[in-house]
Homo-oligomer: A and B are copies of this chain.
Amino acid sequence: MINLMKNSKLNKSIGIIGGGQLGQMLTQAALPLGFDVTVLDPQAGSPAYLAGADQIVGDYNEASITKLAAQSDYLTTEFEEGLDTDLLSKISSSSKLNPAPKTIALILDKVIQKNYLKAKGVAMGQYTSFETHHQAGQLLKDYGGKMLIKTRRGGYDGYGNRLVDNRASLDKALSDFAGQPVYAEAFVPFIKELAVMAVRDLDGAIITYPVVETIQKNNICHEVLAPAQVDYETMQRATDLALKVAGAFDGAGAFGIEMFLTQTNELYLNEVAPRVHNSGHYSIEACVTSQFENHIRAISGRPIGSSAMKVPFAVMINILGERNGPAELKAVTEVESDEQTYVHIYGKSQTRIGRKMGHITATGISLNEAKARAEDALKEIYI
């Protein structure tokens, strides 16, 4: 590990499209490696800025992205939704921008993503795009009376995502998403949701992180348990699935691969994100090299570090907004003296119900111990 300060001749600059919490944690990983970091974000005082990045305050338009690209040795993004991949291809050679614009294009639209990966032999549940209300009604029958209606683009943290199991809920979903392209996914009866982070270097070599279990609440990632409590053979299969998915795309950087462990013990891909991911936050304290540091290393051509866990168990819990308004953090000194509890508060100035305001990672010699520690800490925090 190198902690190089900025005026060394080896130093390079990283540009990040987006200055939210992912940009923030990327910044915190990149600065000690000696990089200058600049983020582009429309909101002044973004979380990444608060962590020490310079910021271009601006919309994600051609002028701003071009400006960021021009001053960056390496360009990356903390999100993909809404990005103009033609523009990205135009302003940047793919060796400079990672994830590759082509990869972003393939992942952005979930139907294109699924078609692409299905053709590569990746196992997944049934899904169909449809045009008419009538077709949707037929699909609900075909899929056994329970399915998800999802927007093809822009879904995250429960947005763009409805579970429907009768005519009324189907009508509601279609009306909510009127005007947006949607598709249907058969509901996969699963025992657990698993996730694996993979990081691919500029030469295409891929490393994976431990398999974790993710627990969702209201369609938002609530808790991540590391490592997942599944047998060795399932871990192997989950890792293989992640390698297959990450290997299907061009370009360097992190990939978050979410999957279902079905009641029949099959592993189905759920979704893939071409970036650092909420399911990998635990790696900051629990792994030799965090997903954020390895993403930075990967896109800048530096050697990728070990992803092995350096503690027996870790549990990550998101700190979600519980009201709407200016964020005001209550005292957290109770938590502070615990050496195995790590609280991250992203510094967002406005809170909103369900908004990701921070997260807690707790480590321990058993999963229960780590979980109890994280949950106890969460009780001390209100934001």
Q: Distance in Å from the Cβ of A62 to the closest Cβ of chain B?
A: 30
Q: Which of A315-372 contact B (CB under 8 A)?
A: 327-329, 331-333, 335-337, 339, 341-347, 349
- Let me know if A24 is at the binding interface, CB within 8 A: yes
How many angstroms from the CA of A288 to the CA of B310 in the assembled complex?
Answer: 13
Total chain A interface residues with beta-carbon distance under 8 A: 44
Main SS class of interface, A: loop
Q: Distance in Å from the Cβ of A204 to the closest Cβ of chain B?
A: 17
A46-54, A141-149, A241-249 - interface stretch: A46-54
- Let me know if A178 is at the binding interface, CB within 8 A: no
| Given A10-B329, A339-B289: A5 touches B302 (CB 8 Å cut-off) | no
Complex contact A9–B45 (CB within 8 A)? no
Q: Which of B5, B333, B343 contacts A346 (CB 8 A)?
A: B5
- Let me know if A6 is at the binding interface, CB within 8 A: yes
Complex contact B342–A9 (CB within 8 A)? no
- Let me know if A8 is at the binding interface, CB within 8 A: yes
Residues of chain B within 8 A of A328, CB atoms compared = 9
**A interface, CB within 8 angstroms of B:** 1-10, 24, 28, 31-32, 34, 45, 47, 50-52, 288-289, 302-303, 305-306, 327-329, 331-333, 335-337, 339, 341-347, 349
With both beta carbons as reference points, the residue of chain B lying nearest to A33 in the complex is identified as B336
Q: Distance in Å from the Cβ of A276 to the closest Cβ of chain B?
A: 16
How many angstroms from the CA of A51 to the CA of B328 in the assembled complex?
Answer: 27
Q: Which of B3, B5, B47, B345 contacts A342 (CB 8 A)?
A: B3
How many angstroms from the CA of A363 to the CA of B342 in the assembled complex?
Answer: 23
| Given A8-B329, A9-B329, A349-B7: A1 touches B34 (CB 8 Å cut-off) | no
Residues of chain B within 8 A of A52, CB atoms compared = 31, 52
Complex contact B4–A347 (CB within 8 A)? yes
How many angstroms from the CA of A327 to the CA of B10 in the assembled complex?
Answer: 11
Among A306, A342, A347, max chain B CB count under 10 A is at A347
Complex contact A345–B32 (CB within 8 A)? no
Complex contact B343–A6 (CB within 8 A)? no
How many angstroms from the CA of A31 to the CA of B52 in the assembled complex?
Answer: 9
Q: Distance in Å from the Cβ of A3 to the closest Cβ of chain B?
A: 4
Across the A-B interface, the 8 shortest Cβ-Cβ residue pairs: A5-B347, A303-B337, A52-B52, A5-B50, A3-B344, A6-B50, A8-B329, A4-B345
